[in-house]
């Protein structure tokens, strides 16, 4: 098993690990600076496919964290990388926002409503019945069904919102077709991120706040997994699952070089 001091590259989730409700988590800025000082390749990951890396970089900067856009990896980028590998120069009908449409354009895809190779469902706050109907008919006619991430709900100040997974479930019910889901907990998300920075699983660490996405995908991708307690997980949540991360720590502050290394599980 990889020890923390043997890790040469890092992948980290964003919400619940580095930021919480647009406020930086204590130690996050220092950890990012530590990685830069040590020259360690890293990527900040998110299942959110609404925003481009440039948008997310600006949001993080407003929160007090400096993360250049080339250090951000989204489920939209992972989806575009996957589809480019599957069918270079392909076509897609997309339900989503700039995050996924920009990523697919940059991957060389054509956006079309006429017999597309793929129907791609991403995150948006403007799901339309007309677009969902079009997606159902195109999938029924043979287009392959792809979803950026499986999250059924997303947060808002007023409470949960239906998200990509919920819309995908509706399309599955209407078509009888299950989508291929690229984002976490599919380890494809981590593998594509590692490809982006030239990392190898045996010396890459993954930091997350969710057992059901971050940790399980990290385990399946062969990474050194670290769960932080600054997101949604608590001891009762951890106990629900038959697997364990390599380490459980209070927050990313425990990963600073001045912090003592906890005993691994």
Question: What would you report as the CA-atom Rg of the chain, rounded to the nearest whole angstrom?
Answer: 19
Identify the active-site residue in 5, 15, 85, 250. Answer: 15
- Give the CB-side neighbour count of residue 155, counting CA atoms within 13 A: 9
Given CA atoms 30, 33, 38, 43 in this order, what sign does their dihedral have?
positive
100: preceding bond cis by omega (within 30 degrees)? no
The total number of residues written for the chain in this structure: 265
Instruction: Report how far residue 247's alpha carbon sits from residue 263's, in angstroms, rounded to the nearest whole number.
Output: 8
| 3-state SS string for 108-146 | CCEECCCCCCEEEECCCCCCCHHHHHHHHHHHHCCCEEE
Non-local (6+) Cβ contacts of 98 within 8 A are 50, 51, 52, 55
Q: Please give the Cα distance from 232 to 76 (Å, whole number).
A: 23
* DSSP code of residue 263: P
d(CA 88, CA 213): 28
Whether 13 is a known active-site residue: answer: yes
Q: Which of these is catalytic: 5, 13, 37, 214? A: 13
Active site positions, annotated: 13, 15
């Amino acid at each position: 098993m990889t020890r923390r001091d043997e890790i040469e590259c890092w992948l980290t989730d964003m919400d619940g690990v580095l930021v919480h409700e647009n406020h930086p988590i204590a130690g996050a800025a220092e950890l990012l600076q530590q990685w830069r000082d040590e020259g360690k390749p890293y990527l900040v990951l998110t299942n959110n496919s609404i925003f481009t890396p440039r948008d997310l970089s600006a949001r993080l900067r407003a929160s007090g964290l400096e993360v250049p856009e080339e250090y951000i990896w989204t489920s939209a980028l992972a989806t575009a990388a996957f589809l480019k590998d599957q069918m270079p120069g392909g076509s897609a009908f997309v339900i989503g926002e700039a995050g996924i449409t920009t990523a697919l354009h940059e991957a060389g895809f054509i956006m079309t409503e006429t017999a597309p190779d793929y129907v791609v469902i991403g995150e948006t706050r403007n799901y339309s019945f007309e677009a969902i109907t079009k997606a159902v008919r195109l999938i029924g006619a043979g287009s392959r069904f792809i979803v950026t991430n499986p999250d059924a709900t997303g947060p808002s100040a007023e409470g949960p919102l239906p998200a990509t997974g919920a819309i995908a479930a509706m399309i599955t019910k209407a078509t009888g077709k299950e989508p291929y889901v690229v984002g976490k907990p599919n380890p494809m998300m981590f593998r594509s991120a590692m490809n982006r920075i030239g990392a190898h699983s045996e010396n890459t660490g993954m930091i997350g706040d969710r057992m059901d996405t971050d940790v399980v995908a990290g385990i399946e991708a062969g990474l050194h997994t670290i769960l932080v307690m600054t997101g949604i997980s608590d001891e009762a949540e951890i106990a629900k699952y038959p697997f364990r991360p390599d380490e459980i720590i209070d927050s990313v502050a425990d990963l600073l070089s001045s912090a003592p290394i906890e005993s691994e599980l």
